């Protein structure tokens, strides 16, 4: 978000319409805020906060929201600060430090820009930092809250992490479950503080999810592969967590947000997280976050009444916070320039999933799972959702999670259609699909300056109420019925 990167980064965000940046993660428990320090990778300074504000001003100016006090900002930010036990590597941690950080945020985001701050994240993955000691975490949270460390901003919490394990094992409690089953206790303790201040872009409680991990030597179940992250079994684990915790949040009049997720914990896996399969996974994950189908209660959420209000895909450095020059984490949706020039960032495969979802599914109504099956081959890994109702156009979203093409016969009661296609792109011409290094939508790519050249729908007529289409391996299509041919 420095001067050289900011224009392209603002364009990449503006392409997505609206959203929330989350800045913090584990780094918020390791990097102190120091208003008098020189700006380095090991400290948070007012200069960093100013760069964030200037980025949000730039992106919000795309739709005129930067100066409109009466409209919610298109883009906002969750800014994290430490809530963790003091240790030798972080002796500065405590309520005084958190309050000083919030003062710095107030100074950086003054006047009309204060509404860009959605909330202050208090701590990150407390199940890890507190070593599963729930009473100590809740006592420290209460001490921070009693000290008003986040005023005048809302609180983002608890940002717990969850075990990478089958949902059946979590239900049986046959694996270490960290704070998973402690969520009711945690929310009872933090909900009053969370509800005390409205958030500009959604009052939510948060947790994290990863279907696999880079580090898996001691537990093969954690090992990431394309087949594993795209399996129905891993998505069922995700749906179980989202439905369980979103339901607990709703009981306390709170929304729920996936504050951190991606293909594999530990900064992703080469050949899994940075290829077309990651876009397929990300697109399916967003639909399942919005409308989780709990595997332990089939049909319990068929009306999509329970789900997340948003997701944050994690971006990081390839190895450690303090060495960004080593390059990007494999799962980054937007890749930064690691050279000293710190120039324009670029769109990676996952970004195209965000772009497709934000343009055609975000802020719509009537979301439902759709019972779509492949006519050929019958074993194709097809997932589908539909939207429509009120002012929301009727749309059908179809994802082929397999590597081979699948032919569909869709019943559509309209004379014509528009179709958009997200597809793997293999510049080598070797025919890679799920393992292709790039992704395109409508055969188009994001420009080097971060702008999107626009969608280019294919159109056609529907014969006899049936549309027969082929969805290639690793592809996703959006079908919009239309009243007349275009």
Q: What is the mean pLDDT of residues 77-91?
A: 93
Tell me the β-bridge partners of 470. Answer: 407
* More confident of the two residues 180 and 196: 180
Q: What is the mean pLDDT of residues 456-474?
A: 94
What whole-number distance in Å separates Cα of residue 359 and Cα of residue 352? 11
Q: What is the mean pLDDT of residues 218-242?
A: 97
CB 354 within 8 A of CB 73: no
Q: Read off the pTM.
A: 0.96
Predicted local distance difference test score (pLDDT) of residue 330: 98
CB atoms within 10 A of CB 466: 10
Helical (H) or strand (E) element with 417: strand 416-425
Peptide bond into 262 cis (omega under 30): no
Mind listing the pLDDT tens digit for each residue in 117-149?
999 999 999 999 999 999 999 999 999 999 999
Predicted local distance difference test score (pLDDT) of residue 64: 66
CB 187 within 8 A of CB 254: yes
Mind listing the pLDDT tens digit for each residue in 351-380?
999 999 999 999 999 999 998 888 778 777
Predicted local distance difference test score (pLDDT) of residue 433: 97
Predicted local distance difference test score (pLDDT) of residue 65: 63
423 pLDDT above the threshold of 90? yes
190 pLDDT above the threshold of 90? yes
When pLDDT is cut at 50, 70 and 90, the band that residue 295 belongs to is very high
Three-state SS sequence of 57-125? HHHHHHHCCCCCCCCCCCEEEEEEECCCCCECCECCCCHHHHHHHHHHHHHHCCHHHHHHEEEEEECCC
CB 114 within 8 A of CB 200: no
Predicted local distance difference test score (pLDDT) of residue 198: 79
Domains by residue range for the chain, with CATH: 6-360 (3.20.20.80), 368-482 (2.60.40.1180)
Predicted local distance difference test score (pLDDT) of residue 70: 62
When pLDDT is cut at 50, 70 and 90, the band that residue 195 belongs to is confident
When pLDDT is cut at 50, 70 and 90, the band that residue 473 belongs to is very high
Mind listing the pLDDT tens digit for each residue in 310-335?
999 999 999 999 999 999 999 999 99
């Amino acid at each position: 978000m420095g001067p050289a990167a900011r224009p392209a980064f603002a364009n990449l965000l503006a392409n997505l319409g609206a959203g929330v940046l989350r800045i913090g993660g584990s780094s918020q428990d390791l990097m102190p805020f120091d208003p008098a320090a020189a700006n380095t990778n090991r400290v948070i300074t007012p200069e960093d906060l100013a760069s964030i504000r200037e980025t949000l001003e730039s992106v919000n100016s795309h739709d005129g929201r930067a100066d409109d006090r009466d409209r919610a900002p298109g883009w906002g930010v969750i800014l994290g600060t430490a809530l963790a036990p003091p240790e030798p590597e972080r002796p500065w941690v405590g309520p005084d430090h958190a309050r000083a950080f919030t003062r710095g945020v107030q100074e950086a985001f003054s006047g009309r820009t204060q509404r860009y701050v959605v909330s202050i994240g208090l701590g990150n993955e407390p199940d890890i930092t507190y070593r599963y000691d729930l009473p100590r975490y809740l006592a420290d949270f209460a001490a921070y809250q009693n000290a008003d460390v986040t005023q005048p901003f809302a609180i983002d919490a608890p940002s717990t992490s969850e075990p990478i394990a089958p949902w059946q094992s979590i239900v049986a409690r046959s694996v270490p479950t960290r704070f998973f089953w402690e969520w009711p206790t945690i929310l009872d303790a933090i909900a009053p503080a969370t509800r005390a201040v409205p958030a500009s872009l959604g009052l939510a409680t948060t947790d994290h999810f990863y279907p696999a991990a880079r580090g898996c030597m001691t537990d093969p179940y954690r090992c990431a592969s394309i087949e594993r992250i795209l399996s129905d079994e891993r998505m069922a684990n995700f749906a179980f967590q989202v439905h369980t915790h979103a339901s607990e949040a709703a009981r306390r009049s709170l929304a729920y947000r996936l504050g951190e997720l991606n293909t594999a914990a530990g900064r992703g896996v080469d050949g899994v997280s940075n290829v077309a399969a990651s876009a397929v996974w990300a697109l399916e994950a967003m639909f399942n976050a919005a409308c989780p189908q709990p595997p332990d209660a089939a049909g319990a959420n068929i009306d999509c009444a329970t789900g997340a209000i948003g997701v944050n895909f994690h971006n990081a450095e390839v190895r450690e916070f303090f060495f960004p020059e080593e390059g990007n984490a494999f799962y980054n949706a937007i890749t930064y320039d690691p050279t000293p020039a710190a120039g324009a960032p670029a769109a990676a495969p996952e970004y195209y999933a965000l772009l497709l979802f934000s343009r055609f599914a975000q802020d719509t109504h009537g979301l439902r799972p759709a019972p779509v099956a492949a006519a050929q081959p019958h074993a194709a890994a097809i997932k589908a959702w539909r939207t429509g109702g009120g002012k929301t156009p009727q749309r059908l979203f179809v994802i082929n999670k397999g590597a081979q093409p699948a032919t569909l016969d869709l019943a559509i009661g309209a004379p014509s259609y528009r179709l958009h296609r997200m597809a793997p792109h293999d510049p080598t011409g070797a025919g890679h699909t799920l393992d292709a290094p790039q992704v395109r939508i409508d055969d188009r790519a994001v420009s080097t300056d971060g702008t999107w050249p626009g969608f280019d729908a294919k159109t056609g007529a529907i014969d006899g109420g049936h549309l027969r289409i082929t969805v290639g391996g690793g592809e996703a299509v959006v079908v919009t019925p239309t009243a007349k041919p275009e």
